[in-house]
Amino acid sequence: MLKLRTALCLALIVGTLTLLNGVLQGARLETIIYRIIVSVAIFGFIGYGIGLIVERFLKNIALKKLEEKSQEDRLKENESSDDDITDNSEFAPFTSTSFEQITRPKE
């Protein structure tokens, strides 16, 4: 949709400027109409091409941001699942206070 909007806006602007230029120069009506048709057609295609390039560029930026967010979400999910595992398990780190709790095998 951006392509069409860009093409339409550019064509209307150039067509209006061509009309004003033709009236100010005192050109005949047929000449003004011919110039407007040619200008609108050419700059309509140029505007469509510009819109196409800009749309692709913006899509690439949006996809990169979406991928970054999904990677961040995956990392957060992995971190939270790791925390859940350690909270539920009976593992306790080895510290100086837990040294006395070690049982030695009886001989």
- Report if residue 42 sits inside a domain: yes
CA atoms lying within 13 Å on the CB side of residue 59? 9
**Domain around 53:** 2-75
- Report if residue 85 sits inside a domain: no
Identify the pLDDT of residue 107: 64
Identify the pLDDT of residue 95: 72
| Chain centre distance of CA 103 | 60
State the alpha helices, DSSP H only, in the chain.
2-25, 29-88
Identify the pLDDT of residue 70: 80
Is the pLDDT confidence value at 76 over 90? no
- Report if residue 83 sits inside a domain: no
Q: How many domains does the chain have?
A: 1
Q: Treating both helix axes as pointing N-terminal to C-terminal, what angle do 2-25 and 29-88 enclose, rounded to 10 degrees?
A: 160
Mean pLDDT of the chain: 81
Q: Which pLDDT tens digit goes with each residue over 16-27?
A: 999 999 999 988
